[in-house]
Amino acid sequence: MNPTIRRARPVAVMAIAALCAACQSVPVVPPHTLEDDLDARLSTAVANTSTLVGEMQQLEARQAVAPSVAPATLQMKNALDAQMALNWNGSAESVLKYISESLQATFVVIGRSGTVPMVSVKQGGDKTARDALQSVSSQVSGVADVAIVAGPTPRVELRYHK
């Protein structure tokens, strides 16, 4: 036998023995454990999805019950076909008061639609509705939409975010 092979043989045996010892120290995960782990992750994902769907349904139900935009109608002496943006940070009554002062007109609350007053003009002033609404929009902050609608009964529709 070749002397080189004789010397290499014990080294190879020791290397194989070390490799076997290393393999035995690494735990082998049985396949059923991996499946259980995947099942657990899938169950968690399904539960999270169900929770999100439930929260979305609750949010949609709340939005259906309490819409974010509510209308108020002002009966105006002079009406213009226009869409305007009105910024405010107050109640409908405070905005109506400011509009009435700007128009030098008297508004009478004739009813309510939820929290929104329905008002009518008792007497008119000398400013146009457009001037009054532009004046209001420069004074207050928040967001609302104003539509001045012409027709047999001219009116201003005021929609504001609660």
Average pLDDT per run of 10 along the chain, which is 162 residues long?
58 67 60 70 75 73 52 37 33 57 51 46 46 50 47 52 45
- The total domain count for the chain is 2
* Residue after which a domain boundary falls, among 42, 65, 88: 65
Domain that holds residue 32: 3-65
CA distance to 54, 95, 114, 137, 161, per residue, from 89 (Å): 33, 9, 19, 11, 10
Q: Does one domain contain both 8 and 79?
A: no
Q: Give the closest residue to 155 by CA, choosing from 103, 98, 81, 86.
A: 81
Q: Does one domain contain both 73 and 38?
A: no
Q: Does one domain contain both 61 and 98?
A: no
Judge if pTM exceeds 0.75. no
